[in-house]
């Protein structure tokens, strides 16, 4: 049964649109936990477009579940992570011009640098996950880096047409199998919604799904606590749709 990490970046997006003090993502993290969130995820971007340093510091003091810090693999972000000490760091690619994270990290192309960063974070007691596409070469590089987790990029699956979704789901399922065979623990996220989350939640070995935008959008109608409860129910009790084939191990 997968757990649910709730990304609250989009709460901060609303605040930063006016450069004011509300809505405060720190307060909304508490509501997400009341709704059943198993963890809180934030992405501290280099340009600080939504989450701010102050947010991460206060979240570290107030989150009672798990704090997952998404960040680029830079010296600045490493120093922040070592100071704040989140429960987990998820290393992601980052381009300033992108609206949201596009695709997975090229671990194979920067393996030596990531080995060093991963080692230093894990030596400090911080779990490390690498956000990657479900590509065998990248997953093998993740294992070689010393990281203990991967987060499979589900954006391609989420954006696929209904005709192509089964093939993309099969790719994620195979990626989960390969990762686990390499000794890696498996999370997933990006672009998941109330309509497409269940087949991914049902993948064998899936430990956690990190979901944000769709929950915040639903919360505008039903409130954040209820929005998290609804997503948690789908993640923990996914229907097995014959369209997507077997999801057993």
Q: State the catalytic residues.
A: 43, 70, 190
CB 38 within 8 A of CB 5: yes
Q: Which of 175, 168, 234, 165 has its CA nearest to residue 204? A: 175
Cβ pair 201, 234 in contact under 8 A: yes
Single out the residue of 28, 3, 75, 106 nearest to residue 42, CA to CA.
28
- Per-residue DSSP letter, 243: G
Helix-helix angle 25-34:9-18, to 10 degrees: 150
171: nearest Cα among 207, 139, 210, 211: 139
């Amino acid at each position: 049964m997968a757990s649910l990490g709730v990304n609250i970046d989009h709460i901060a997006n609303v605040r930063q649109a006016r450069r004011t003090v509300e809505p405060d993502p720190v307060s909304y993290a508490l509501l997400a936990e009341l709704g059943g969130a198993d963890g809180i995820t934030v992405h501290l971007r280099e340009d600080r477009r939504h989450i701010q340093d102050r947010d991460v510091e206060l979240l570290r003091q107030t989150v009672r579940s798990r704090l997952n810090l998404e960040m680029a693999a830079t010296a600045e972000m490493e120093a922040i992570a070592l100071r704040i000490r989140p429960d987990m760091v998820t290393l992601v690619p980052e381009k300033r011009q992108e609206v949201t994270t596009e695709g997975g990290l090229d671990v194979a192309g920067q393996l030596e640098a990531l080995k060093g960063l991963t080692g230093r974070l894990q030596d400090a007691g911080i779990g490390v996950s690498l956000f990657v596409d479900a590509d065998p070469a990248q997953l093998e590089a993740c294992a070689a880096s010393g990281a203990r987790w991967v987060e499979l990029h589900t954006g391609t699956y989420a954006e696929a047409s209904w005709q192509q979704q089964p093939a993309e789901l099969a790719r994620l399922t195979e990626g989960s199998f390969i990762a686990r065979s390499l000794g890696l623990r498996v999370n997933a996220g990006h672009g998941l919604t109330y309509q497409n989350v269940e087949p991914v939640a049902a993948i064998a070995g899936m430990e956690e799904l990190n979901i944000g935008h769709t929950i915040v959008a639903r919360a505008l109608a039903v409130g954040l606590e209820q929005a998290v409860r609804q997503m948690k129910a789908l993640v923990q009790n996914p229907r097995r749709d014959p369209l997507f084939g077997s999801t057993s191990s």
